[in-house]
Chain A
């Protein structure tokens, strides 16, 4: 594992992505101290102002500081992505383990369910589930997690199938190890690495999903400042103040890029057969 981390840090784009994400995390925690203004404070005298010394990135249509909203949007956007991916793991991990470990008709049935859920365009299914659960950030992220869970389940199932047929698992079983012990001691640890890679990539996908749903008005509700919601406001004032759309858009792009780059680098670093590829 430590060799993998070293390999990761030797990759300059991966190290840069990691540094960016850590910085973002620090910024999220310290948002109230970093942001010069409260995110919902309105200044009627400065509406849609261009960037100036008082407002670093200008103000939005209600005279709120764009930079402060961007900073306060970071913890909201990040925690939303983490929530979605956590839900995906909570559903996907056990389902994948059961399907792969028990096998037989149960595996057949679970696999068909996974295939079915993956047949839906992700955003469309998420919109449907959000509509049913009720509009809002938490519900929409639970919906996204639900939509992402088959990806995790399929991955874990595949890993479980590989590990289950290993000789040492047979050996452990012949020594009388219980199924629970086999899963916890042998199957799960071997499935962790590919799951970490997938989780990192899914964080990027969840970020984009949050932005999309909030842009459509199904996620974050005003006056909360998620990056997607900021883009939705910027959209309505595009003709007067097109520059409003750049800051939140770039924030989303960079963060998704960082998660993706880190995920791909992790894949290479954790896979011994790819290390010199």
Chain B
């Protein structure tokens, strides 16, 4: 019975996610339609020949109907063929496979820091709402959300890489090669990304905890004579796990975006530099490949989070 419940749940979620996933691929593909003028000429670049334009038209199937082009592109993408870079001729999938780990180390570290710092801050603030500590956390949260991550990154480089030389100022090392060096390289960019993450986690933890603690059933627990500490740690925290999952999903999406700019500050060869250089150089297969990878990560993670919701709170299932 348990098995069928989970497979039914997964099936239902897939039905919901399916259309979004397909639409997302369509958005990525249709992006090149925004290019003004003849696509083949735009893709061929500035110094080009008639033959090159004709070749591009043929390679990319630009002479065929739009939906046929989309279908072909999608079928190739599903099989792992993301075409080749217009600038370097390198396989897009290979470039992404080389760079994605560098980005994931930074974003992963930033997520861990955000949760580890943000949750305690939110808890501390909610113990006594309106206290000086609560006010301090609110100020930190407001600053963290308004702070441009890449500017914080520059300050961190100037302070901790140039002045004190505690951390490397640029580059990255693969996790599999030397995990200590890898984390040392990821430390500053992760901190720059984590500022807004900490702010968001602290804010949401605080408001979710305050809401739970002011609810009817918590009042009943107090009335039954349960000690405040037990109510807070057992019932309060258990009930904010769903909120934390939601925030986590939101942060993954935001940080995958923010890392693009932060990576530029640290010259990290990640997804960020890949898409920025490609967008500047009108290398659209690469732009599309990066977008597709990032949106796929977000959609798959949100699917997992949705399933976890049900594990944490069976009531979600009955929606």
Bin the interface of chain B by size: 35 or more
Q: Is the CB of B256 within 8 A of A124?
A: yes
Q: Is the CB of A245 within 8 A of B257?
A: no
Q: Is the CB of A112 within 8 A of B20?
A: yes
In the complex formed, the residue of A with least CB distance to B157 is A238
Question: A122-B257, A123-B258 given as contacts; is B150 within 8 A of A215 (CB)?
Answer: yes
Q: Is the CB of A216 within 8 A of B256?
A: no
| Residue A62 interfacial (CB < 8 Å) | no
Chain A at the B interface: SS class: helix
| Residue B276 interfacial (CB < 8 Å) | yes
Please measure, in the bound complex, the distance between the C-alpha atom of A67 and the C-alpha atom of B145, giving whole angstroms: 26
Q: Is the CB of B279 within 8 A of A131?
A: yes
Residue of B27, B34, B151, B257 ringed by the most chain A CB atoms within 10 A:
B151
Q: Is the CB of A119 within 8 A of B279?
A: no
Q: A119-161, CB under 8 A of B: which get 1 and which 0?
A: 1111111011111111100000000000000000000000000
Q: Closest approach, in angstroms, between the C-beta of B292 and any C-beta of chain A?
A: 10
Say which one of A81-89, A95-103, A184-192, A204-212 lies at the interface with B.
A204-212
Residue of A112, A124, A129 ringed by the most chain B CB atoms within 10 A:
A124
Return chain A residues, CB-CB under 8 Å to B278: 131
Q: Closest approach, in angstroms, between the C-beta of B69 and any C-beta of chain A?
A: 16
Q: Is the CB of A119 within 8 A of B258?
A: no
Partner of A123, one of B33, B143, B158, B260: B260
Q: Is the CB of A129 within 8 A of B19?
A: no
Partner of B20, one of A116, A135, A261: A116
| Residue A168 interfacial (CB < 8 Å) | no
Q: Is the CB of B19 within 8 A of A112?
A: yes
Please measure, in the bound complex, the distance between the C-alpha atom of A135 and the C-alpha atom of B295, giving whole angstroms: 23
| Residue A41 interfacial (CB < 8 Å) | no
Return chain B residues, CB-CB under 8 Å to A249: 148, 151, 154-155
| Residue A271 interfacial (CB < 8 Å) | no
In the complex formed, the residue of B with least CB distance to A216 is B276
| Residue A179 interfacial (CB < 8 Å) | no
Partner of B280, one of A123, A131, A252: A131
Q: Is the CB of B142 within 8 A of A115?
A: no
Return chain B residues, CB-CB under 8 Å to A130: 279
In the complex formed, the residue of B with least CB distance to A133 is B34
Q: Is the CB of B280 within 8 A of A253?
A: no
| Residue A28 interfacial (CB < 8 Å) | no
| Residue A31 interfacial (CB < 8 Å) | no
Residue of A117, A128, A215, A257 ringed by the most chain B CB atoms within 10 A:
A128
Q: Is the CB of B260 within 8 A of A127?
A: yes
Q: B128-144, CB under 8 A of A: which get 1 and which 0?
A: 00000000000000110
Q: Is the CB of A121 within 8 A of B298?
A: yes
Return chain A residues, CB-CB under 8 Å to B294: 120-121, 124
Partner of B158, one of A128, A217, A238: A238
| Residue A231 interfacial (CB < 8 Å) | yes
Return chain B residues, CB-CB under 8 Å to A257: 142-143, 146
In the complex formed, the residue of B with least CB distance to A257 is B146
Please measure, in the bound complex, the distance between the C-alpha atom of A125 and the C-alpha atom of B23, giving whole angstroms: 14
| Residue A220 interfacial (CB < 8 Å) | no
In the complex formed, the residue of B with least CB distance to A130 is B279
Q: Is the CB of B154 within 8 A of A218?
A: no
In the complex formed, the residue of A with least CB distance to B261 is A212
Return chain B residues, CB-CB under 8 Å to A218: 276, 279-280
Q: A157-182, CB under 8 A of B: which get 1 and which 0?
A: 00000000000000000000000000
Partner of A128, one of B150, B151, B280, B287: B287
Q: Is the CB of A119 within 8 A of B291?
A: no
Q: Is the CB of B150 within 8 A of A212?
A: yes
Return chain B residues, CB-CB under 8 Å to A116: 20, 23-24, 27
| Residue B290 interfacial (CB < 8 Å) | yes
| Residue B87 interfacial (CB < 8 Å) | no
Please measure, in the bound complex, the distance between the C-alpha atom of A113 and the C-alpha atom of B22, giving whole angstroms: 10
Return chain B residues, CB-CB under 8 Å to A238: 154, 157-158, 162
Please measure, in the bound complex, the distance between the C-alpha atom of A221 and the C-alpha atom of B148, giving whole angstroms: 20
Within 8 A of A (CB), among B287-308: 287-288, 290-291, 294-295, 298-299, 302
Could you tell me which B residues sit within 8 Å of A by CB distance? 19-20, 23-24, 27-28, 31-36, 142-143, 145-148, 150-151, 154-155, 157-158, 162, 253-258, 260-261, 264-265, 275-276, 278-280, 282, 284, 287-288, 290-291, 294-295, 298-299, 302
Q: Taking A128-B28, A131-B287 as given, write out 5 further A-B residue pairs in contact, using a Cβ cutoff of 8 Å, ordered by the A residue number.
A: A120-B298, A131-B284, A211-B148, A231-B154, A249-B151
Give me the 4 closest cross-chain CB pairs, A-B, nearest first. Answer: A131-B279, A121-B257, A123-B257, A256-B146
11 A-B residue pairings within 8 Å (CB atoms): A116-B20, A119-B295, A119-B298, A120-B24, A121-B295, A123-B258, A124-B260, A215-B150, A216-B276, A217-B280, A257-B143
